[in-house]
Amino acid sequence: MNPSAPAAMAATLTESAVETFRPQLRGELIQRNDAQYEQARKLYNAMIDKHPALIVRCVDVADVIACVNFARENQLTLAIRGGGHNGPGLGSCDDGIVIDLSRMRGIRIDPSNNTVRVEGGCVWGDVDHASHAFGLAVPSGFLSSTGVGGLTLGGGIGYLTRKYGLTIDSLLGVDMVLADGKFVHASADENVDLFWAVRGGGGNFGVVTSFLFKGHPIHTVYGGPMFWPLEQAADVLKYWQDLILNTPDELNGWFAFVTVPPVAPFPEKHQLEKMCAIVWCYTGPLAQAEAVFKPIRAFAPPAIDFAGPIPFPALQSMFDALYPSGLNWYWRADFFNHYDDKAIALHMKYGAQLPTAFSTMHIYPINGAAGRVGNGDTAWGYRNANFAQVVVGVDPDPANNARMGEWAKDYWLALHPNSMGGGYVNMIMDEGEERVKAAYGENYARLTQIKAKYDPENLFHVNQNIHPTR
Ligand SMILES: Cc1cc2nc3c(=O)[nH]c(=O)nc-3n(C[C@H](O)[C@H](O)[C@H](O)COP(=O)(O)OP(=O)(O)OC[C@H]3O[C@@H](n4cnc5c(N)ncnc54)[C@H](O)[C@@H]3O)c2cc1C
C-alpha cells in the first residue's frame, strides 16, 4: 500500500460500508459529526492536529480484529492509539481509521510467578497502581501518563533501566492482531522472530492487545530531583557522567536542564530560574541510601534537594502535573557514549538558552542492565550506547512553536557529530526514512525482512515506518 494514497481512498468510504461495520463492534465508533469527535481525536501533543474519518474505541480483541479487517478491505489508513503520547502524533492519522485502545485497560498480576499482564490501552500509571499493591514494578519511563503500548514497543527507558534493563527486557510475551486479522502470541518460544521485532520495532508488526511482563520487587525507592545553579552545570554534568559510568546498577539518575516551576514546593527564590538537575532513583537497601548520596551532596551541595524515600508510583508520577496533555512538543534525540569537554561546553551554551519555561534537555543513562543485552538480541539497536539524549521544546502557546523548534534543532545539530548516529525511536519527530534507519542501526535490515513476512502490504505504516523488503 502506498502510504500517501489512503487519504483519497478514505473519500470513497461509503456510509453503507460504515453501517455494515458498526454491528461488528462492541466499542464506540466515532465519526466526524459525532459530539465526542473533537475530544476523541485530540492527542497529547497539541502541535499535531489530525482528523481521522473513524475512531473506534475498541473494548476487546474481537473489536481490534474487526477494525484491522475493515481497514485492510477498504484500503484505509490505519493508526493505533495506545496512550496518545507520541511526539509526532503517530497514534492517529488523517482520513483513515484509528484503533483507540484506551478502553482496554485490564491488568492482572499473578503473585505466584510475579508476572503482570497488561491490556494494550493501559498507561503506566495503571500498571504502577496495580503492581505496587503486590510489591512489584515493571520498568517503564519517567512519567505515569505515557502509554504502555508505544513506550514498550519502542524500547522503554526509565528509572529502572540500569537495574532491570529497558521495558522490553522485562517483556515475556505479547498477544497481537496481525495485518491479515489473525490473532497470535509471540514470545521466546512462539513466533520468535516476531517477538524479536516487537522488542524495539514499534507498532510496525500489528496491534498488541496484551503485554505480559516480568514484575520486579520494587516498592519504596530513594529518589527525586536535586537542582544546582547553571554556573555549576558543567561540573555537575562531568561528575554525574563519571558516577553513572562507574556506580552499581542500583543507582540511576538522569541529568536535565530545566526552568524551576513557579509553584510550591519549589522555593520562591529559585522559581523561574534556569538550573541543572539530576533526578535520582536508588533501588538498593534504603538503610544505605543516605550513605550513597552523601558524597553526591558533598561534591556540590544542591540548591534544592527533594531526594528521599518515596513509593515508586509517586516517583513515576512526580512530573505528571508539570506536563499535562495539550502542550506543544517538539523534540530531537540521539544516543551518546561519552561527553567530552567540547560537548559539555555545547551543552552549557544551549542549556542556558531554554526557549520557554517548559522546555528542557534530558540525558538518560542506558548502561547497566540495559547495556548488558546484546545489540542483536532484540530490535533495539543501541545497547552499546551509554546515554540517550533528548532536547525538548515545550510550551502551551503555539506562537512559540517556531522559536522552540529552532532551538531544539540547533541544539541537536550542535551535539549530533559526537553522537552514535541515531536517536531513540520513541523520541524522534517525523524526520524521514534515514532517521528511522539510523534509529535501528544494524538491526534495520532484519526488521525489514520480518516486516515483509508479517505485514507485506505495510498496513501498519502510521509509525516510525520500517519498509517491507519485496
Ligand atoms: C511527556 C512524555 C514523556 C515520555 N517519557 C518517556 C520515558 O520516560 N521513557 C520512554 O521510553 N519514552 C518516553 N516517552 C516517549 C514515549 O515512549 C513515546 O511517545 C510513545 O510513542 C508513547 O506511547 P503511547 O502509547 O502513549 O503513544 P501513541 O501515540 O498512542 O502511539 C505511539 C505509537 O505506538 C504504536 N502503538 C501504541 N500502542 C500500540 C499497541 N498496543 N500495539 C501496536 N502499536 C501500538 C502506534 O503505532 C503509534 O505509532 C515520553 C513521551 C512523552 C510525550
Note the pLDDT tens digit of each residue in 371-403: 999 999 999 999 999 999 999 999 999 999 999
Domain span holding position 15: 6-100
Q: What is the number of structural domains in the chain?
A: 3
Domain annotation covers residue 362: yes
Whether residue 186 is predicted with pLDDT greater than 80 in this model: the reply is yes
In sequence order, which ranges of 47-94 are alpha helices (DSSP H)? 61-73
Rg (CA), the chain: 22
**228 and 302 inside one domain:** yes
CA 428 to chain CA centroid, nearest Å: 10
Domain annotation covers residue 459: no
**71 and 177 inside one domain:** no
Q: Is the peptide bond before 265 cis (omega within 30 degrees of 0)?
A: yes
Mean pLDDT estimate for the chain: 96
DSSP state of 417: G
**255 and 151 inside one domain:** no
Whether residue 3 is predicted with pLDDT greater than 80 in this model: the reply is no
E strands, 240-303, in order? 251-259, 274-282
**315 and 301 inside one domain:** yes
Whether residue 229 is predicted with pLDDT greater than 50 in this model: the reply is yes
Domain annotation covers residue 27: yes
What CATH number does residue 54 fall under?
3.30.43.10
CA 145–ligand 1 middle distance (angstroms): 10
What confidence score (pLDDT) does residue 360 get?
A: 98
Ligand 1 atom showing the smallest separation from residue 87 Cα: 19
CA 153–ligand 1 middle distance (angstroms): 8
In sequence order, which ranges of 250-398 are alpha helices (DSSP H)? 289-299, 312-316, 341-351
**295 and 344 inside one domain:** yes
Whether residue 366 is predicted with pLDDT greater than 90 in this model: the reply is yes
Cα separation values, 101 from 27, 98, 399, 427, Å: 10, 9, 32, 21
| pLDDT above 90: percentage of residues in the chain | 96
Kindly state if the Cβ of 203 falls inside 6 Å of ligand 1: yes
**283 and 400 inside one domain:** yes
Kindly state if the Cβ of 118 falls inside 6 Å of ligand 1: no
Ligand 1 atom showing the smallest separation from residue 156 Cα: 11
pLDDT tens-digit readout, 300-318: 999 999 999 999 999 999 9
What CATH number does residue 273 fall under?
3.40.462.20
Query: Are 465 and 458 spatial neighbours (Cβ–Cβ below 8 Å)?
Result: yes
pLDDT tens-digit readout, 414-460: 999 999 999 999 999 999 999 999 999 999 999 999 999 999 999 99
In sequence order, which ranges of 258-358 are alpha helices (DSSP H)? 289-299, 312-316, 341-351
**229 and 206 inside one domain:** no
pLDDT tens-digit readout, 154-163: 999 999 999 9
Nearest CA to ligand 1 atom 33: 150
Kindly state if the Cβ of 143 falls inside 6 Å of ligand 1: yes
Instruction: Round to whole Å and give the CA distance between 71 and 192.
Output: 27
| pLDDT above 70: percentage of residues in the chain | 97
Residues 6+ away with beta carbon under 8 Å from 136: 109, 114, 116, 215, 216, 217, 218
**68 and 128 inside one domain:** no
Higher pLDDT, 360 or 15: 360
